[in-house]
Amino acid sequence: MWNPSKKTRTIAIKILIALFSLTMIFHVAALLQLIPFQFLWGGRLSSLEEMYVMETVSLLVNGFFLWSSFRYLYYINQGLVPVWIRIVFGFIGIIFLLNTIGNLVAITNLETLLATPVTAFLTGICFSLVPKYEN
């Protein structure tokens, strides 16, 4: 079984930290209506109120992903990645896998063409952090 090195995992987690941070900025921009809600959530939102609910949930979930990424970085620097954080990244990987499938059937071409490769990439990174880390 493939067991990424500490360096590979550190690079992967730093990529996640950068992407989750950028994603949170995107969701804040959506909440501030800098991005029309018709382009969000695969073009399936029908009102501003619905957008506020969905984007708030997205912001909270991405905040959890960012916090988890910082925890993983802390643990990898300590030389031991506990099972619970690896399970969290398995769960996050499943979320991104499902999101990738959702992006493929999005109504808006922008989401299909832009978000699908990003979420597929995030799926791979998250799953690469799941195997047991052996120092």
Per-residue model confidence as pLDDT tens digits over 38-64: 878 777 888 999 999 999 999 999 999
Task: With H, G, I as helix, E, B as strand and everything else as coil, classify residue 69.
Answer: helix
- Segments forming the whole domain that contains residue 72: 6-128
44 in a structural domain: yes
| Out of 19-23, 56-60, 123-127, 131-135, least confident range | 131-135
In a domain, 11, yes or no: yes
The tally of domains found in the chain comes to: 1
pLDDT band, very low/low/confident/very high, at 1 (cuts 50, 70, 90): low
Longest dimension (CA), the chain: 50
Rounded to two decimals, the pTM is 0.88
Asked if the structure places residue 135 within a domain, the reply is: no
Q: Look at residue 77 and tell me whether its pLDDT is greater than 90.
A: yes
Residue 38 lies in a domain: yes
Residue 1 lies in a domain: no
Confidence of residue 14 (pLDDT cuts 50, 70, 90): very high
- Residue 32 belongs to a domain: yes
- CA dihedral over 107, 29, 37, 92, signed as positive or negative: positive
In a domain, 26, yes or no: yes
